Amino acid sequence: MDVGEISRIRDQFQGGQWPQFLERIDIAGLRGWRAQVVQLKFPVVAIVGENGAGKSTVLKVAAAAYDKTKDGGYFPSDFFLDTHWDTLSAIDLGYQIKTGDVTQNFKIRKPSKRWSFPEKRHSRRVYWFDVARTLPLDATAGYARVARLAAGEISTEALSEEYRGHLSYILGREYSNARFAAPDVNVNRKVGLLQRDFGEISQFHQGAGEDTSLDLMLALQEVPNNSLVIIDEVEASLHPRAQRRLINFLIKLSRLRRVQVIVSTHSPYVLEELPPEARVLLLPTAEGPTVIYGASPEFALTKLDDAIHPESFVYVEDRSGEVWVREIIARHPEGQAILSRIKISSVGPANVVAMMGKLAAENKLPQPGIGVLDGDQQDSVGCVRLPGDDAPERVVFRGLQAHNWGSLHERFGIGAGDLHTYFEDTLLNPDFHRWPTLVGDRILKSGTSVWETMVTEWCRICLADDIRDGIVNAIQQTLPVGV
């Protein structure tokens, strides 16, 4: 993640510097949606979820938010058609948009056969890129004839030097020229060409990532300020490094042109380049998609019915919480048996843990589960809390300090005097999240290794049986009886 770029765009967005912004979508009566709300909280947002979870529906509904004009735009009927097999009715699409300092709400409806619109619709340039862009050129309508019959060019249009540079950076390969030729057999079927060290190569013979990215760069260089750009499966045909670079380019484009970008993805590499507020997870339930904000990339892209088939899921914020919960359970007399039946998943910030715990408590997930919140969080339905009333690092470090650091000098193989000095120095740093790493830097171990060792020692000398049993019993209650 480019932390500097994220900080710049976040500051500008929070300062209200996007003159046009689609803030919220409500979807009811369409493909299993039952009045769920999707909020767009960042200039570049990724919609993630399993196949069929509703990602493309969100993108299509967003694309239809603004009036269709000669410059572009879409009607809902461009995406949601009545067919011999599908009759769509009782649909309500709600929108909240910001134009300047004014926030407005309106609905587009299809009560029966026809769509109805508000008396006045708002205009904005909307650019839609669906998965059809990934088709090879020779498989795209009209291009087979071009490949067979073209004998020359009528005209050519070069990609700008700036955007050719962006293309080279994203794909990690230097291109000395990038252009689009209008062939003599059909001037409307332009063919992209890239100049590499061995010569010029057309889209008929380029790699899939080159083909897709070249078309995308041509379109994006023409996108005017304040537009809405929507890309379905943004990672398609790109290797991991190119995926990261493309999403970072889109963040920069958004900041410079005040463009709003919405993408769908199945890629952890895309999600890792975005801050939590830019990640929207659609989780299928019997009552339609549940919308979760800020989920970790790992959780957002992990199937809940993985090969291990756990009987219950325990949701925690992060890796630190995962390690601590595991050690607490391991100290219980039945700990090993319980650990063999559950899966502990780090899902993201406290709001995600609370949401997953609530959904599990309401039996809205495919499997039983419980949330385990940090001790400094408030009680929440379907959740228990870790020991203490503070952040995990503070609870563990302060608890061990009160016991003169226990036997950590033996566990780490370092003299007690030196080790205790390292600990005391670390506690002076206000960023408690870094404490394990700071200790690790002094004793030449990873922060993760330090945390695992300290949590194990804390559970040995600081963990009260009643606190342990309260957490473990709550987890046990989610497991099927008699198995």
Give residue-wise pLDDT tens across range 38-81: 999 999 999 998 888 889 999 999 999 998 877 678 899 888 88
| Integer Cα distance of 60 and 83 in angstroms | 18
CA-to-CA distance for 92 and 134, rounded, in angstroms?
31
Q: Helix H segments across 107-194? A: 143-149, 161-171
**Residue 425 main-chain phi, psi, to 5 deg:** -65, -40
Which residue has 């407005």 as its token pair? 104
Domains of the chain: 3-125+224-281 (3.40.50), 134-220 (no CATH), 303-387+465-476 (3.40.50), 392-461 (no CATH)
Separation of alpha carbons 262 and 221, rounded Å: 17
Contact 230, 129 (CB under 8 A): yes
Task: For 63-113, give the DSSP string.
Answer: HTSS--BTTB---GGGTS---SS----SEEEEEEEEETTEEEEEEEEESSS
Helices (H), 283-434: 297-300, 319-330, 335-339, 350-361, 392-402, 408-412, 416-426
Q: How many CA atoms lie within 13 A of 313 on its CB side?
A: 26
Are 445 and 460 in contact by the 8 Å Cβ rule? The answer is no
- Compute the residue count for the chain: 483
Contacts for 140 with CB less than 8 Å, ≥ 6 apart: none
Give the per-residue pLDDT at 304: 44
Using alpha carbons, list the distances in angstroms from residue 58 to 95, 121, 251, 264, 461: 12, 19, 20, 9, 51
Structure tokens at 220: 């994006």
* Residue 109, pLDDT score: 93
The token duo for 153 is: 């060019």
Give residue 184's pLDDT band: very low, low, confident or very high (50, 70, 90).
confident
Condensed to tens digits (0 to 9), the pLDDT of residues 198-255 reads: 888 887 877 888 888 888 898 899 899 999 999 999 988 888 999 999 999 999 999 9
**Contact call for residues 159 and 178 (beta carbons, < 8 A):** yes
SS3 172: coil
Cα-Cα-Cα-Cα torsion 248, 79, 225, 268, nearest 10 degrees, comes to -10
In this predicted model, what pLDDT tens digit does every residue of 273-330 receive, in sequence order?
Answer: 999 999 999 988 778 888 989 888 878 776 544 555 688 999 999 999 999 999 999 9
Number of H helices, E strands in the chain: 17, 18
Rounded to an integer, what distance in angstroms lies between the CA atom of residue 471 and that of residue 325? 9
User: Residue 455 pLDDT > 90, yes or no?
Assistant: yes
Is residue 483's pLDDT more than 50? no
